[in-house]
Amino acid sequence: MKNVEIRPGTPSDGERVAEMAVALSAHEGEPPPPFDAEIFRRFGFGPERRFEPLVAEVFGDASRGGDRGGELVGYVLFSNLFHVGLGAPGLHMIDLFVEPSYRRLGLGRRMLAALAKICVERDATWITWQCLPSNAEAMAFYEDIGGRRFNAANFELAGPNLVRLAT
């Protein structure tokens, strides 16, 4: 697909990325997340930075507008991590989303290629992510690019259980 730019996200992308995060949750059968433009700006930029964004922006006749002259149609959020077992740094992909009308055009692959380039430039050696097994389209995509499924259980400590353990 031509007329596409994969670029670092900016604070002004917050509203659109938050809209797409809601669409991702809906696609996965989940309720809307409490992720909004303010959270995007607070934790994606500045002193409280916890993740980095990349966005896919379409320009020209494939675009339907937007304040930069293009339309944001996808995003990926990621953070730096370290893997003790590998003795190496890597990246954790938090979210990857492409608008349904722009899927199967190579945008997801291009965003992951941009993320892989960042990984290599940072002398990191791996990227991890999670995917709901029920998301068959995403599972097939990740297997197609060479992703390997781990036989590991995911755990989360949150809410009252987190507070109880902390106190």
pLDDT recorded at residue 73 = 96
**Would you give the DSSP letter of residue 70?**
S
List the beta bridge partners of residue 56. 6, 74
Residue carrying the six token digits 């934790």: 43
Q: What is the three-class DSSP state of 67?
A: coil
Residue 128 pairs in a beta bridge with 92
Considering the entire predicted model, what is its pTM? 0.85
Phi and psi at 13, nearest 5°, equal: -80, -5
Among 86, 16, 87, 95, smallest CA distance to 51 is for: 95
State the pLDDT at residue 156.
78
pLDDT at 162: 86
pLDDT score, position 65: 47
Mean pLDDT of the chain: 90
Does the domain at residues 4-166 carry the CATH identifier 3.40.630.30? yes
| pLDDT at residue 39 in the model | 97
Residue ranges covered by each domain of the chain: 4-166
φ and ψ of 150, to 5 deg: -90, 150
pLDDT along the chain (167 residues), means of 10: 88 97 92 95 96 94 54 97 93 95 92 95 93 83 85 81 89
The pLDDT value given to residue 157: 83
